[in-house]
Structure 1
Amino acid sequence: MATVIKNGYIYTNGEIVHGDLLIKNGLISAIGTDLKAENIIDAKKQLISPGLIDVHVHYRDPGQTDKENVKTGSLAAAHGGFTTVCAMPNVVPVPNTPELMRKMVKNNCENGVIHVLQYAPITVNEDTNEIPDYAALKKAGCVALSNDGKGVQNAYTMYLAMQKAQANNLIIAEHAQDDSLFNQGVINEGRKASEFNLAPITELAETTQIARDLLLAQKTGAHYHVCHVSTKKSVELIRIAKSKGINVTCEVAPHHLLLGEENIISDNANFKMNPPLRTKADQEALIAGLLDGTIDMIATDHAPHTASDKQNGFAEAAFGIVGSETAFCELYTKFVKTGIFTLEQLINWLTLAPATAFGLTKAGKIALGQPADIAIFDLHKKEAINAANFKSKGKNTPFNNDAVYGQTVLTMVDGQIVFQSEESK
């Protein structure tokens, strides 16, 4: 049955136009006005966006499904307007073999309500110097390589990994962290570390490894993607690397744009993430990096945990916060409503930019013949974030009770509704 989404403001070809979308057989078949079909969805002059893309989520499945699983994680993504995500491989067991990769890909397809793509590890078990069979893992369905949560400590191992990734046309998405400099820290090195007497994390733990890896990427030609960039110096290094033609892309997480260490007013582990919240100067550099193209995209680093994981303050709690269900509304409210970003820029960083960088040709845009992966957002209604209503098992967020615009009204994957707000039913 054909469906027409009528009377919306559609983001297509880099601009927002008023009109209708016609969907047939899961594909976008027409963009125009006065389109007709048996099934009608009234967008009520709301934003119709390509389904958002998140190249950095943690679904904890298998092995830690008390925190999240593919079903709950993908429902959370749909609730946030995401229709394609890339899931990190820090699960139990780590998908080191083609057999494990095929099993994860199968689970993602069977239990995900959206498109859940799967990373393979850079090294076996993410903490060794052994490199798995990238060709076999790619054939089994992996989308890219990452040890997220852990940096590759040995430079020669990373050098070999980049050579093999380049040979197999795979992206290396690196969590840049030198453990000797990280030194079991829990909070950014600065005033808050002193105020709460907590072990500090120097920015050098991130920046020195990025500098190393950029030189390795220059030597090997590998596509090097830096996860969750958080410091001014990191942005500067990547800007220089791009000017020299090094094949590097990078992402920034919403929480590093929205928050800085000054927002930590108590020993509240919902503000504990890795990399940690940095300084105001770092925040400003991240914003500038997006605006000048140094930073390519926004990715959530959605990291669900149980309540007990986060209850004991910075010293003992797990790193990470959930992000799928708060990313668009928080970013729209804090940056688009205030005129810092345009709506078109924000949508691009969450759709076409990640699709282009990761070669996702069937995602990231509303165009004829493309899969009908669509999100509708209400940009006019103000509503408080309520973590109790999250679809994710994880409720660990510093944004609970924030009043925001841009909540998701409807999310569609391949022409099928996978989320719809109660008010719009």
Structure 2
Amino acid sequence: MTLIQNVKLNNELVSLLIEDNLIKQIAPTIAPTPEMTVIEGEENTILPGLIDVHVHFREPGLTYKETIKTGTKASARGGFTTVFAMPNVKPVIDNPESLQQMIELNQRDGVVKTQQYAAISSNLSALDNTDIEKMAQMGAIGFTNDGCGVQQANIMYEAMLKAKDVNKPIIAHVEDNSLTNQGVMNEGESSKKLGLPGISPLSESSQLARDLVLAHSTGVHYHVAHISTKESVELVRLAKQMGVNVTAEVSPHHLLLDDSMVESDNPMMKMNPPLRSKADRKALIAGLIEGTIDMIATDHAPHSQEEKQGSMTTAAFGIVGIETAFSLIYTKFVKSGLVDLATLVKWMSKNPAQAFYIQGGQLEIGKPADLTIMDLDSEYEIKAEDFLSKGTNTPFLGWQVFGQTKYTIVDGKIAYKG
């Protein structure tokens, strides 16, 4: 048994008793006994464990960037107790054998719960569909070609039909390759000023419009990954009004940064989708607050230092985010008074759990003891040397934030202690 004492829950000091991986009791005080492991909360805030539905852990094949072990340790440091790993590793998780191996690896090396996506098509090629039925039976949480837009409508349509049959979601990286212009940042005034090739916002919204029509026809749960444009927000809003079973995520960097802040050829500002315009960023914030966008997901994408050096024209796309997401959004959204803490928990825990039908997102008696204890009052600086991820590729280094993880507890066991 584990006793967590002296923590704030809904602004009241309480203690929690954990037994058999479950929350057994929540009370103002609980007397410790000799057989209990006692965690002193020091009047910090206890929250449901955070859930990130979009991470890249790079294993197998790209372990110089990240591994399941380093990625899940970083997740725990960020306050996350459950993460969903993307299949675009080497080899791609596109068949039952590789999926089984990946699930076993996640369970063996992960210090947090790691759900596994499988690919929509072989090698992310969008030329055929994978064995969706078989991989759904084996435990794939959903199907995605993340990193690549599915270029052929018939392939996406067939995948939606199969996913609907097995009650699994399609997670879409929406990107029409014919409209990306081999760009490295958003197409706009900043790209022109810097002389860098720009990615048209239409590359996202045009393919999203196609997919929403297909999702309406098939009835599949269609989830939009890393939404980034105002047109995309409008399309999702309209689709929800039409009864499409659609959910959407937005990443912290698209909420906090825009292309007007790209003042030089800085590879740390290169991600896909790119940082969009100030108007896009405002639409994303509005869409999140009103509920058109359901959740925040990091799109944690670690790279080596060599891959993020030099020019944006040659550097890799991607930003790490699993260790900074909560603190950044807490500081800029909650500390500023824009939303309350309960809303942030809804975006980063409750809504992901409900949308993907997994346990989590609530601190209640009888529920799994997946939780995080946060110091919300002490300010600290985001520093690369503090990261547990192998990747430090982020423009947020040096930012002053609040919301530091003191403990992350998964199934009643300490996964991280700060």
Q: TM-score, normalised by structure 2?
A: 0.98
Q: Which moved more, 1:42-51 or 1:348-357?
A: 42-51
| 1:18 Cα offset (Å) | 3.2
Task: Establish whether residue 54 from structure 1 lines up as the match of residue 49 from structure 2.
Answer: no
Give the whole-Å Cα distance in 2 for the aligned partners of 1:175 and 1:128. 12
Q: Partner letter of residue 6 of structure 1?
A: Q
**Is 1:396 aligned to 2:393, yes or no?**
yes
Task: Give runs of aligned pairs for residues 23-422 of structure 1, distance below 5 A.
Answer: 23-37=18-32, 38-360=36-358, 362-421=359-418
Deviations 1:217-249 (Å, cap 9, x if unpaired)? 000101100000001110000000000100000
SS of the equivalent of 1:333 reads helix
Give, in whole Å, the separation in 1 of the partners of 2:310 and 2:242.
45
Please report how far the alpha carbon of residue 150 of structure 1 lies from its aligned counterpart in structure 2 after TM superposition. Answer: 0.3
Q: Secondary structure at the match of 2:374?
A: strand
Deviations 1:9-59 (A, max 9, x none): 22xxxx554311111121100111111333222212211011100000000
Which secondary structure does the structure 2 equivalent of 1:142 belong to? coil
CA contact (8 A) 1:22 1:36 kept: no
Does the residue aligned with 1:314 lie in a helix, a strand or coil?
Answer: coil
Residue by residue, what CA displacement relative to the aligned partner does 1:249-296 show, whole Å, maximum 9, x if unpaired?
A: 000000000111122122111111001001111111111111111000
Cα distance in 2, alignment partners of residues 96 and 233 from structure 1: 31
Q: Which residue of 2 aligns with 1:4?
A: 3
- Please state whether the residue corresponding to 1:242 is helix, strand or coil: helix
Match for 2:5: what amino acid? K
Q: Which runs of 5+ in 2 are unaligned?
A: none
CA shift digits 1:198-220 (9 cap, x unpaired): 11011000000110000000001
**Superposed displacement of residue 103, structure 1:** 0.2
2:18 corresponds to 1:20 = no
Q: CA contact under 8 A between 2:120 and 2:126: conserved in structure 1?
A: no
**Deviation readout 1:82-138 (Å, 9 max, x if unpaired):** 010000000111122111100000000000000011000011111132101111111
> Conserved in 2, the CA contact under 8 Å of 1:254 and 1:298?
yes
Instruction: Please state whether the residue corresponding to 1:382 is helix, strand or coil.
Output: strand
Deviations 1:292-334 (A, max 9, x none): 1100000000000000110022100110100000000011111
Q: Does 299-308 or 44-53 show the bigger shift? A: 44-53
Maintained 8 Å contact 2:94/2:120: no
Cα separation, partners in 2 of 1:168 and 1:400, compared to 1, 3 Å: same
* Same amino acid, percent of matched pairs: 50
Which amino acid letter does the alignment assign opposite residue 27 of structure 2? G
Aligned residues: 415
Contact 1:374 1:411 in 2 (8 A): yes
Contact 1:251 1:297 in 2 (8 A): yes
Q: How far, CA to CA, are the matches of 2:241 and 2:126 in structure 1?
A: 33
1:3 partner letter: T
Verify the 8 A CA contact 2:227 2:248 in the aligned structure 1: yes
Q: State the distance in 2 between where 1:248 and 1:104 align.
A: 27
Rounded Cα–Cα distance in structure 2 between residues aligned with 1:171 and 1:128:
17
* Distance in structure 2 (CA, Å) of the matches to 1:121 and 1:201: 25
Q: Which amino acid aligns with 2:376?
A: L
Runs of 4+ in 1 over 3 A off after TM superposition: 15-18
Mapped partners of 1:18, 1:212: distance in 2: 50
Mapped contact 1:269–1:312 kept (Cα < 8 A) = yes
- The 2-side partners of 1:127 and 1:393 are apart by 28
Report the residue type matching 1:121 in the other structure: A
Indicate conservation of the 8 Å contact 1:171/1:223, yes or no.
yes
Q: Distance in 1 between matches of 2:31 and 2:391?
A: 41
1:399, 1:240 → 2: CA distance?
A: 33
Query: When the two structures are superposed, what TM-score results if normalisation uses the length of structure 1?
Result: 0.96
